[in-house]
Amino acid sequence: MKKILLGFLVLFFVQASFAQDSGKGTNIYTASTGETILSFGMVEAEPLNTGTVARFTPFFNFGQQLHFDFSNSFGLFTGLNVRNVGIITDLDGPSVEDEIRVKQRTYNLGIPIAFKVGDVEGWRFSGGFEAEFAFAYKQKVYVNGEKRKSSSWFDDRVEIFQPSVFVEVVGKEGNFIRFKYYLNDYLTENQMLNIDGLDFNPTSSNMFYISVGYVIKNKEIKNSF
């Protein structure tokens, strides 16, 4: 992970130096983003049988980006995002006949470091790394249709630090489609969930998502093209 961050920092300074030496300036501006997320999980919690359900999240997923365009075909961006992510898990075991569904989500604060190639004002490809921190947790447990819910801040039922990598294709009007994969497990084994003798202690909980969204250019800070 440190090597990934170091690589992006080195790339940033190399491109900045290249732009300066070649007599070309750097275009710097901010942008607003939003996305609608379809997330998937793969949860293992032996000896239970687990199944996961796709989770559709249209809100609240928004952010602000800071762009550095070193040329018309290459740039970098960072920023700050707030994102609603989570996993829905169906549970059953050899001695449990109840229908149990566990919905778990967090609001994450994310800081991306990414590059973009192509036409920086049109169709382009972007990819990079994002460090996300889960700060608001909510859980809903459905047992035969009966709902139980709880929420907390910085809950230890999920990993607080959730690093991820992503790639996206951005259109000329700013619309994009993105794929993101989380490098850590989403859930911890400390679930504190016992229903009719069933203990839910996930040993693996991978999460990834596909989203569509937009990025809209806002304020021009420096324009040297």
CA atoms within 13 A on the CB side of 147: 6
Q: What is the pLDDT of residues 78-125, one digit of tens each?
A: 999 999 999 999 987 655 566 789 999 999 999 999 999 999 888 999
How far the first Cα of the chain sits from its last, in Å, is 34
3-state class (DSSP) for residue 90: strand
Gyration radius of the chain over CA positions: 20
Q: What is the pTM of this model?
A: 0.85
- Is residue 103 within 8 Å of 59, Cβ to Cβ? no
Give me the pLDDT at residue 195, please. Answer: 77
Q: Which tens digit of pLDDT belongs to each residue from 193-211?
A: 887 777 889 999 999 999 9
pLDDT digits (tens, 9 = 90+) for 28-84: 999 999 999 999 999 999 888 899 999 999 989 999 999 999 999 999 999 999 999
Averaged confidence pLDDT in the chain: 87
Quote the pLDDT of residue 97. Answer: 62
Measured between alpha carbons, how far is 60 from 157 in angstroms, rounded to an integer? 22
CA distances from residue 158 to 15, 106, 175 in whole angstroms, order as listed: 37, 8, 31
Domains of the chain: 26-219 (2.40.160)
